[in-house]
A and B are shown apart, each in its own frame.
Chain A
Amino acid sequence: MTYIAKPKLHHPGLKPNKLGFTHRDYEGSISTLCAGCGHDSISAALIQACYELSIEPYKVAKLSGIGCSSKTPDYFLGPAHGFNSVHGRMPSVLTGANLANRDLLYLGVSGDGDSASIGLGQFAHCVRRGVNMVYICENNGVYGLTKGQFSATADKGSRSKTAVNNDSPIDLVSLALVLGATFVARSFSGDKKQLVPILKAAMAHKGSAIIDVVSPCVQFNNNPQSTKSYDFVREHNEAVNRIDFIESKAEITADYEPGTVTMVRQHDGSMLKLSKLHPDYDATDRAKAMAYLQERHAAGEVVTGVLFVEEQADDLHDALGTVATPLNNLTERELCPGSAKLADLNADYR
């Protein structure tokens, strides 16, 4: 178990955010994962991102499937409701929850087995629909909870402690791009500096934000021959951009040298400043992003950063034309046509 030591009293040094919440207000129960598990670092990054964004913790809904990764919503944002559903089916449960109340922030947490093996279909379809959510796949290339079998994201030729994977991998990032996701990123659990701003940008994004986070399983897939190990990812990590999340345009003071920075304005008015680390990478061009990813993957790189973002995306509610009021708030008054209308209808059936 990894303990982040919890003082009994609020630490006087804990700085409150804009809403007066401290870091502590975003924490959850104590993690029961293995010490050093990448998933715990992602939970910590989520806590940090929500704290920095001054999100009201209880206005978040956390949904997950089944797996070590899917257990983690219990370990952050204690004041928020969570739903640990069934293996591979978080996307549908999240979609339904989102339909019922469009006003919450939906965090979907999944694993690579959960998303790319048993749940590939649901992953694809919730992306296609543009469900407004932050979907995090905590990707370790194996089934942690069932003790280390390869998942569908394991690279061909990758070795675990006991086996070699001979199947081609599924790259959720490429898939998300093909399926029309409007925010696609990849990061590494060991790179909080990159992961936190990506999470913040994803939370501000309206539409399906898909984040594939390589998150090593220290128990079953952290050996040197694994492409999902800490060492491998550190060595091969190629970030395409550096992300700064800027809450409003007013905060931008400096001018940037042309061609070095892409500014993306999000639906809620926030700005994403993507400083280019690769001069020819354009995170607003879906087709080029796809080609670049294929190319670099073939060269053995793990490409990270905000890989694609569409500035003003629509979501499922836009497509369905639902009312602004959350559906779970409607009453008999809006929902029930009443007896007079029914009498008219009866006449139509005669």
Chain B
Amino acid sequence: MYAPLITKPGSSLERKTGSWRTNLRPKFLQKDCIACRLCYLICPEGCISGKEKNTFISDYNYCKGCGLCAGVCPKDDIEMVPEGETK
């Protein structure tokens, strides 16, 4: 008998691990972004996407709230906000 132990690559997408996030999450202000992509590069979860200036976002289904993106952003365009804050 087999369970779905062995899967095709990419199965990490099926495991939504964002619920493990610490109580802060990154808020992409999308104001001063210069599209340097440093946040995209540093994110250990690989869950940041974006191409043009002021389009970068994090996928909260996977983001762990580590804050690395906010720390690396040269334009301070990412802010760590408490979970639940919508503004």
> Do A and B make up one complex?
no
Chain A interface residues (CB < 8 Å from chain B): none
Chain B interface residues (CB < 8 Å from chain A): none
